[in-house]
Amino acid sequence: MTDDAKLRSILENNKRIAVLGAHDDSAKPAHYVPEYLATHGYNVVGVNPKLAGTTLFGNPVVATLADLTSPVDLVNVFRASRWLAGHLAEFVAMNPRPKVVWLQLGVADAAFAAALHKLGITVVSDRCTLAEHRRLL
């Protein structure tokens, strides 16, 4: 479990965010959570192959993490836990790698988190960035 001081530090110091599984439906958490972050000073880039080339949160959406054209501090993951292992190679290939991977509420995988920790990436599991931002900042 990540304590409040660590969560606050993550939210204060990681302002460029890639959203893996970003959505264009404003009723979906994968849209309204990153939209909230974008309106609160974060630079948010959507990652979704179905939406690549469109614009969300003020930036063009890319198909994969490999398509990001500049480094990100944090990857906010809106993918079901069962799909996380399939994304591990994308995280390994990122250069530079993000400092933090934040798995949204309901998303957790101990083996995936352990693999990222071995790469020097902090992992926050099963927490909502919007709720934590409202609560802590």
Is the pTM higher than 0.85?
yes
For residue 107, the model assigns a pLDDT of 97
For residue 127, the model assigns a pLDDT of 97
For residue 1, the model assigns a pLDDT of 52
Q: Write the CA distances from 15 to 72, 89, 120, integer angstroms.
A: 8, 24, 19
Better pLDDT: 86 or 2: 86
DSSP structure string for 14-38: --EEEEET--S-TTSHHHHHHHHHH
Instruction: Confirm if 87 and 21 have CB atoms less than 8 A apart.
Output: no
pLDDT at 41 over 80: yes
For residue 70, the model assigns a pLDDT of 95
Average confidence score pLDDT of the chain: 97
CA atoms of 84 and 94, how far apart (whole Å): 15
pLDDT tens-place string over residues 75-133: 999 999 999 999 999 999 999 999 999 999 999 999 999 999 999 999 999 999 999 99
Which candidate, 62, 69, 71, 54, places its Cα nearest to that of 19? 62
SS3 39: coil
Residue ranges and CATH numbers for the domains of the chain are: 4-76+90-136 (3.40.50.720)
- Residue 7's CB is within 10 A of a number of other CB atoms, namely 20
The half-sphere exposure of 11 on its side-chain side, counting CA atoms within 13 A, is 23
pLDDT at 74 over 90: yes
pLDDT at 61 over 60: yes
pLDDT tens-place string over residues 12-40: 999 999 999 999 999 999 999 999 999 99
Tokens of 25: 């439906």
- Residue 58's CB is within 10 A of a number of other CB atoms, namely 11
